[in-house]
Amino acid sequence: MNNIRINYFVIVIIALFSAAIIALNITWPDRQKAQINKILSRGELRISTIPSPLITMNDKKDPVGFDYELVKRFADYLGVKLVVNMRTNINQMFDDLENNKADFIAAGLLYNKERLDTTRSGPAYFSVSQQLIYRKGTLRPRSFDTLDGRLVVTAGSAHASLLRTLKETQYPELEWEESDNQTTSQLLEALSEGKITYVLADSISVAVQQRIHPNVAVGFEVTESRPLTWYLPDGEDNSLYAAMLDYFNQLSQEDVLARLEEKYFGHVGSFDYFDTISFITAIDSILPNYQPLFEKYADTFDWRLLAAMAWQESHWDPHATSPTGVRGLMMLTRPTASSMGVTDRLDPEESVRGGAQYLKHLLSRLPDSIPEDERIWFALAAYNMGFGHMLDARRLTEQQNADPDSWLDVKSRLPLLSQKKYYADLPYGYARGHEAYRYVENIRRYQLSLVGYLQAKESKNKILSKDKENDNNEEQERSSLSLTHDMAYQ
């Protein structure tokens, strides 16, 4: 993930600077602590944001994502409640900052010099590149000189700022449009539908959207990796900024940023166009046959995780059979099926019930020391290669002085289980750990595609339904007017 990575160098600098502040016991006059004191006395940390791959709303309308976890942890660090104001465009967020409706902005925004006249940037915590995006199947652009069509970016974004600089310095003929009612993700969706020709976007937005709209393609890299940052009010008060420095210093010491990166983006670094197309097609054509079963037996799981798991196992083929003898939608072995009370592995309902029950069983056997949000990946690895081999991967991780409770650390050791110098001293011996590694990562990618595709489809259906309702209302109004007109002349 060369273009989707945390800016570790910047974080180290932040940590050193923060440590220096603490070591020197530097304090500011009370009048320069107004920002942090106001937050503490209020008991609330207010942030403004817009939907992005780093922060969005889930099905329950709760905020989730990389940025959300960072700001939630920061609120906990301050000992206050977090209040998230979701806005529709970038300028609204900066208006909130200017009008004292937000303490800072956290929305996966690139560092933008144009914003520093009225704001200040917070610590850099992630890096992305900027890319020129086109629609697969059309002529691929190689530079801004070769563009032939509509280039659209989000108004108020660093992308728009960059285009202005490029027009002044290199491409005087460069033209583009700025949308104040569409996020970068929405622009990429419009591009995939052929409504616009080009979008300037950040690499993480592109990587996520390709899982949902696989015809979104990179024309060329516009910039190297650049930092994402939060934005604070400008002024002499450094108290909130100093608190952020100390907070990020703690995160770097505890390796929290690396774990969050793994949680949200560790599986999106590679992209297979044809595999994604095949999966998206099957969502419409095959999934409706089995979705009720996934929903019925998901229990505490997200049913879309079970669906992604079944696709990885059998491509939703209830009669699938492997050379090793595993069979059915969830590709159960005979012993596993028997232990779960499954008598017919080729029966779709029995297979889904058995697979879900077995996955739940594996989860229950995991050590309590594994973080709640990482347990499922350990269980999936055990589903693929056996619980004992998963324990061996944890042992090997610990032997190498890494954290056996961290999926980030353990997954990198999985491929080593097929190398004799490692498995020879482990209780369960040889395992195809590289397959388990791919197995878990593929399921995570399929779940991302499934969730995103279904949400986009639902949103589009709502728009179509609303448009149809408006058309019907207009038709009724025209009929009423026509009837009134006819009566007037009778």
Annotated active-site positions, please? 313
pTM: 0.86
Of residues 30, 33, 32, the one with CA closest to residue 78 = 33
Instruction: Give the mean pLDDT of 332-345.
Output: 96
- In the predicted structure, residue 444 carries a pLDDT above the cut 90: yes
Cβ contacts of 36-40, under 8 Å, gap ≥ 24: 36/78, 36/239, 36/240, 36/242, 36/243, 37/239, 39/78, 39/80, 39/103, 39/240, 40/78, 40/79, 40/80
Reading the block at residue 333, the tokens are 């072995």
- Rounded CA gap, 260 and 263, in Å? 5
* Tens-place pLDDT, residues 103-161: 999 999 999 999 998 999 999 999 999 999 999 999 999 999 999 999 999 999 999 99
Work out the number of other CB atoms within 10 angstroms of the CB of residue 292: 12
* Tens-place pLDDT, residues 356-383: 999 999 999 999 999 999 999 999 999 9
pLDDT tier for residue 26 given thresholds of 50, 70 and 90: very low
Of residues 35, 395, 472, the one with CA closest to residue 237 = 35
The mean pLDDT value of the chain amounts to 90
> Ramachandran region of residue 431, left (φ > 0), alpha (ψ -120 to 50) or beta?
beta
Query: Is 452 within 8 Å of 208 (Cβ atoms)?
Result: yes
Range of lowest pLDDT (47-51, 76-80, 114-118, 448-452): 114-118
Going 35 to 41 to 42 to 44, the CA torsion angle's sign is positive
Question: What pLDDT is attached to residue 32?
Answer: 56
Question: What pLDDT is attached to residue 419?
Answer: 96
Question: What pLDDT is attached to residue 268?
Answer: 86
Buried b (16+ CB within 10 A) or exposed e, 180-200: eebbbbbbbbbbbeeebbbbb
Give the containing element (helix H, strand E) for 98: helix 90-98
Give the total residue count for the chain: 490
End-to-end CA distance of the chain: 75
Question: What pLDDT is attached to residue 29?
Answer: 45
Q: Position of tokens 């770097």?
A: 252
Give the containing element (helix H, strand E) for 196: none
pLDDT tier for residue 463 given thresholds of 50, 70 and 90: confident
pLDDT tier for residue 482 given thresholds of 50, 70 and 90: low
- Rounded CA gap, 106 and 230, in Å? 5
What percentage of the chain carries pLDDT values higher than 90?
79
Instruction: Give the mean pLDDT of 13-32.
Output: 45
- In the predicted structure, residue 195 carries a pLDDT above the cut 90: yes
* Tens-place pLDDT, residues 274-321: 999 999 999 999 999 999 999 999 988 999 999 999 999 999 999 999
Beta pairing, strands 226-233 & 119-128 = antiparallel
- In the predicted structure, residue 461 carries a pLDDT above the cut 90: no
What value, to the nearest 5°, has the Cα angle with vertex 3 and ends 174 and 459? 75
Range of lowest pLDDT (250-254, 280-284, 343-347): 250-254
DSSP per-residue letters across 110-174: EP-GGGGGTEEEEEEEEEE-EEEEEEBTBPPP-SGGG--S-EEEETTSHHHHHHHHHHHHT-TT-
